[in-house]
Copies of this chain bind each other. A is one copy, B any other.
Amino acid sequence: MSEPLRLGIAGLGTVGAGVVKIVRQKANLLATRTGRSIQIVAVSARNRDKDRGVRLTDFAWEDDPVALARREDVDVFVELMGGSDGPAKAATQAALDAGKDVVTANKAMLAHHGQMLAQLADEKGAVLRFEAAVAGGIPVIKALTEGLAGNEISRVMGVMNGTCNYILTRMESAGLTYGQAFAEADDLGYLEADPELDVGGIDAGHKLALLASIAFGTVVDFAGVRLEGIGKVSIDDIRQAADMGYKIKLLGVARMTGRGLEQRMAPCLVPQTSPLGQLDGGTNMVVIEGDSVGQIVMRGAGAGEGPTASAVLGDVMDIARGLRISTFGKPAVALNKAQTATVATPAPYYLRMRLLDKPGALAKVATALGDAGISINRMRQYDHTDDTAPVLIVTHKTTRDALDQAIGAMSTTGVLGSDPVALRIEEV
C-alpha cells in the first residue's frame, strides 16, 4: 500500500462534519478501494468549541484556514466553508500555490473565480475538483468530464435547487400560494441565509455555469447566465400548465448555438410525463445530451450532509487513486471564451391571459400572434363567473422577441383583462 493521503479540512458545518464522519467510519473501505489510507491531519472552523457530533481531538486545529492550506503535512486541502470570496478563496489559492490538490463544494467561488483557480492549479500541477458543488450527491461532473468525454455535448439541463423544486411542488400538490410555500420551506430550514440565492435562481445559476464550462469547454461565465427566479410563478400558472400537460420547474438550460453560448436559469414548462416533469420535492436532476450517447438523465439528492459528503469523498478518492484531470475537463488555457447568445433558441411558449368578455376579443389576440408570425398549437378558453375569461395558449416554436411583439400588440387592442404571462416550454 502506498503512502497515506493526508487531508486538511476547512469548514466543519453540514458538509465538513459529514466528510469527517465518513473518513473516520469507513477507513477500511476507503483504503481497500483506493489502495491508500485516507487520513485527516488538520481541521479548521470558526468556533473551536462547538460540538459537531464527531471527535476532532485527533486532528491538529488551525484557526486560520490559509495556514491550514499551507501546512507541510497536508496533501489535499478540502474547502467546505463556502462563500465566493473571503477565506474560501484565500485558502484555496494558498493551497494551489503550494502545489496541493484541492477539493471543494463551493459553487459560488468557482462560478466567480473558476478560471483563475483552474489556471493556477494547472500551473502548479495541482488538481482542483468540485463534484459536490453541482447537484450534490449525483456524480454529474464525473459523468460529463470523464464518462461522456467522447461526446460533443449539445445541451445540458438541470433542476439543481431542491428548495425551489420543493416550493413549486408544494404549490402544486397542496394548492399553496408562493408566499405560503416559501414560508413553509423557511420553517423547515430549507432556505439559505439570503433566500435570493435559492428562489432568485442564483445558486442554481452558479451550478449551471459550471456545467456549461465542462460541457462546452468554455470559460465559466456566470455573468452570462440569464437568471429569473421563481417569485413570480403563480398558483394559477401551475394549475393551468398542469391542465395542458406540463409542470413548472426552475430549469437551467445551457446549449451551444451558432449565436454563442446560451445559459438560462428560469421557470419554464416541461411535459408532465418527462423525467424532469416527474421530479417532485427536493430531488435534483441533470440531463445531458451528447452526439453519440443521446440523452442521459441523472437523478438524486442535491444537498444534505450524506449526499454532499459522498461527492467530496468521490473526489478525494480519485486523487488518492492518482486521477489527475484539469478542473474543467481540459487545460484552463484551452478553454474558450464563449460569446453569449443574446437571443434564446426558439421554443413553444405557454401564454396565459384574461380576456374581456367582448365579441371579437379572441380574434384580436389571435391576430396579434399571427402578425408576429406565431402560430397557435393549442388554445383553451375557460368558463368564468366574472367579466373576464381565462384563456390559455400554447404556441408553436417562436422566439421571445416575436412573443413580446405580439403581447405588445395585444395590449393596444383593449381586450386584455390582465397582463399576459408567458413562459417558455423547454422541449425535453
Contacts and interface: CB of A to CB of B under 8 A. Distances in A.
Interface of A: 18, 22, 26, 29-30, 32-35, 131, 137-139, 142-143, 146-152, 217, 273, 275, 278, 290-301, 304, 306-307, 309-314, 316-318, 321-325, 329-331, 334
A146 B32 contact: no
Main secondary structure of the interface of A (DSSP, over half): mixed
Contacts of A29: 150, 152
Given A309-B150, A317-B146, A324-B322, A137 B300 contact: no
B301 A147 contact: no
Contacts of A142: 139, 142-143, 146-147
**10 residue pairs, one from A and one from B, having the closest CB atoms:** A139-B147, A150-B313, A137-B293, A292-B306, A293-B310, A292-B310, A296-B300, A297-B299, A147-B314, A142-B147
A147 B148 CA distance: 14
Contacts of A290: 310
A128 to B, nearest CB: 16
Given A150-B309, A310-B150, A294 B300 contact: yes
B278 A307 contact: no
28 contacts: A18-B292, A22-B292, A26-B150, A29-B150, A29-B152, A33-B329, A137-B293, A138-B296, A142-B142, A142-B146, A146-B314, A146-B323, A148-B310, A150-B314, A150-B316, A150-B317, A275-B299, A278-B278, A292-B306, A294-B301, A294-B304, A294-B307, A297-B298, A297-B299, A297-B300, A298-B298, A298-B299, A322-B322
Contacts of A316: 150
Contacts of A324: 321-322
Number of copies of this chain that the complex holds: 2
Contacts of A323: 146, 321-323
Contacts of A304: 294
A334 B31 CA distance: 12
Nearest to A290: B310
Contacts of A18: 292
B299 A296 contact: yes
A137 B325 contact: no
Contacts of A150: 22, 26, 29-30, 309-310, 312-314, 316-317
A155 to B, nearest CB: 14
B306 A295 contact: no
Given A29-B150, A32-B334, A294-B304, 18 more contacts: A22-B292, A26-B150, A29-B152, A137-B293, A137-B296, A146-B146, A146-B318, A146-B323, A147-B314, A150-B310, A273-B278, A275-B299, A293-B306, A295-B301, A297-B299, A321-B324, A322-B324, A323-B323
Contacts of A137: 292-294, 296
Contacts of A313: 149-150, 292
